[in-house]
Structure 1
Amino acid sequence: MKRLSFVLVAAALVLAVASVTTASAAEPEPIRIYIDEYAEGQVMSHVAKSVIESEYDVPVELKTVSVGPAFLGVAKDDRSLFLVAWLPRTHGDYMDRVGKDVDNLGELFDGARLGWAVPAYVPQDQLSSIADMKKPEVQEKLGGTIQGISAGAGLMQVSKETIDGYGLDDDYRLITASSAAMTAALKRAIDNREWIAVTAWSPHWMWERFDLRYLDDPEGLLGGREHVDAIASKGLAKSEPDVHAMLKRMHYSLDQINTMLVNAEATSYKEAAQIFIDEHPEVIAEWTGKSATH
């Protein structure tokens, strides 16, 4: 009897282990979405995560890295995405390096722009273009600094090239900081009605919060109008064809992006993403290929 009980217990354990193993085998590997400091990338990644998990029952993890590792990660991984590839100028160098190893899923939104911005109260007759920054009186009022963001950002790379191109390298220092530190420095300067020049981009909530203007860039070194694309690992189309097809249909208007960013600044990226999903069922239905009442 004891031997029978032992056999039964052992058999039950084997079945339990087999059940767990089967369940684990059925659970798909998560799709990794790389995110960086770009606010629009953060909120779009949260939207994608929620839609993929709810509509396709595939787990998604968000991994924060700088831009370079994001491009390299997508090129090397089997199941990953990066939803904020600024092209053709800002991230062009990264795309040139890994383009053959990634799948460009197409444009997420159009009308993006990079530049240097100043508060609107800075007189335009004194500072209207980057070329004006050569003036000694302008350099003095700006404190010889340009407030930047993280070192690995594409905007910082083109800003360094712009400093060289306009001959500002002896007079100005590009300050490296987080995006949050940049906007905090901008707010302090505006509160005190001080001059400040910041590395800026659109879309961003700061354009809704503050009265700013871009400096003219007569040499065109900061680039022109850009589009923001999604890139995926080459293997994703095969391993998750439905998710891949949905991502190729994913597209936003610039107004939708701006609204999400304002909501994110007031709440969080995750909450702003959920607000967008709740308020735009027809958009989600279009992406997923379902009717809005499905």
Structure 2
Amino acid sequence: MKRIQSIKRKPLMMLMLLMAVILVAGCSSNNNSTVKLAYVAWDSEIASTNVVKEVLETKLGVKVEMLQVDAGPMWAGIADGSADAMVAAWLPSTHASYLEKYGKDIEDAGVNLDGTKTGLAVPAYMEINSIEDLNNAEVAATLDKRIIGIEPGAGIMTATEKALEAYGLSDYTLLESSSAAMAQELQKAFDKNEPIVVTGWTPHWMFANMDLKYLDDPKNVYGGAEQIHTMVRKGLKEDMPDVHKFLSQFKWTAEDMEQVMVKIQGGQSPEEAAKEWVESNEAKVNEWTAGISA
């Protein structure tokens, strides 16, 4: 009889053990999952994404995979769920076309930085002040009718193509490159006091390191001040509640971002710069992780 009772108890014990394993796995779902962060290799987004990665890994104990892509695939990846989040949505103007295309399939987790700006930037020593001035024959000649851009598909590149049309600058060439290559060309020209026009945005370390100015945009092609939003895939809140809560609470300033960018530009790796910033800004990081038990 005792042997029969022992045999009967085994299935029950196995079931209880299985339920315990499932419960533990559910409670620690954030720790056992990998968060995929999509980003574009712009200096601003390299800074912000590495800071987010540092907090997720050191404060929440979550593994992070960074996915470097262009702007279009970044938005598409959040929409189709192949990426979990990105902190690089420039709205309402720069990424308006992507929001229109993918917005219904994405959750907007809120603004993470206020007061951004995009447009055409030049060194302050240049004696032009408006995009309209680029029509001047002498100015056009000194610039070789070139504007140094960044990655094709970036929102600022689309806006600049519209600006060339709106201001009658169809004979100008918008050169495609990368944000890093653009900044290098700008730095070289600045050091030699040479004329140059680039696609610019703030926050960016180049405004901290060089005396630059935006060209006035009387036709308002680039729009006014913008914000950077955090976008997450639908279902993230249910799958990784702590990760979602942190991302929705992640907010910092242009000055914060510039501190990280300047360190990276000065030779630190993005990981080192992010780690140093996080360790030096404990109070702000605690605000981002408030209410999270991890």
Q: TM-score, normalised by structure 1?
A: 0.86
Contact kept in structure 2, 1:115 and 1:222, CA below 8 Å: yes
Length, aligned pairs only: 267
Please list the CA deviations of residues 144-191 of structure 1 after superposition, one character each: whole Å capped at 9, or x if unmatched: 100111112111010001001111012x10001111111111122122
1:79: how far off? 5.5
Please list the CA deviations of residues 77-117 of structure 1 after superposition, one character each: whole Å capped at 9, or x if unmatched: 16511111000000011011111111100000101000111
Report the counterpart of residue 274 of structure 1 in structure 2.
Answer: 275
1:120: how far off? 1.0
Give the SS at the match of 1:98. Answer: helix
- Unpaired stretches in structure 1, ≥5 consecutive residues: 1-21
* Aligned with 2:76 (options 64, 72, 75): 72
Give the SS at the match of 2:57. Answer: helix
| In 2: Cα distance, 1:30 partner to 1:76 partner | 17
Give the SS at the match of 1:63. Answer: strand
1:70: how far off? 0.5
Report the counterpart of residue 254 of structure 1 in structure 2.
Answer: 254
- Structure 1 counterpart of 2:215, which letter? L
Report the counterpart of residue 165 of structure 1 in structure 2.
Answer: 166
Report the counterpart of residue 245 of structure 1 in structure 2.
Answer: 245
Contact kept in structure 1, 2:91 and 2:228, CA below 8 Å: yes
| In 2: Cα distance, 1:131 partner to 1:50 partner | 44
Superposed, 1:1-294 pairs within 5 Å as 28-77=32-81, 80-123=84-127, 127-170=128-171, 172-266=172-266, 267-289=268-290
Contact kept in structure 1, 2:38 and 2:83, CA below 8 Å: no
Higher mean C-alpha deviation, range 23-32 or range 67-76: 23-32
| In 2: Cα distance, 1:60 partner to 1:277 partner | 16
Counterparts in 2 of 1:78 and 1:121: CA distance versus 1, 3 Å = closer
Q: Which runs of 4+ in 1 moved over 4 A?
A: 22-27
Give the SS at the match of 1:229. Answer: strand
Contact kept in structure 1, 2:77 and 2:83, CA below 8 Å: no
| Aligned-residue identity in percent | 35
Contact kept in structure 2, 1:78 and 1:236, CA below 8 Å: no
1:242: how far off? 1.1
Contact kept in structure 2, 1:101 and 1:234, CA below 8 Å: yes
- Structure 2 counterpart of 1:226, which letter? E
Contact kept in structure 2, 1:90 and 1:158, CA below 8 Å: yes
Contact kept in structure 1, 2:53 and 2:64, CA below 8 Å: yes
Give the SS at the match of 1:196. Answer: coil
Contact kept in structure 2, 1:109 and 1:229, CA below 8 Å: yes
| In 2: Cα distance, 1:78 partner to 1:142 partner | 42
| In 1: Cα distance, 2:102 partner to 2:191 partner | 43
1:24: how far off? 11
Q: TM-score, normalised by structure 2?
A: 0.86
1:58: how far off? 2.1
Give the SS at the match of 1:251. Answer: coil
Give the SS at the match of 2:218. Answer: coil
1:36: how far off? 0.5
| In 2: Cα distance, 1:118 partner to 1:43 partner | 23
Higher mean C-alpha deviation, range 82-91 or range 51-60: 51-60
1:232: how far off? 0.3
- Unpaired stretches in structure 2, ≥5 consecutive residues: 1-21
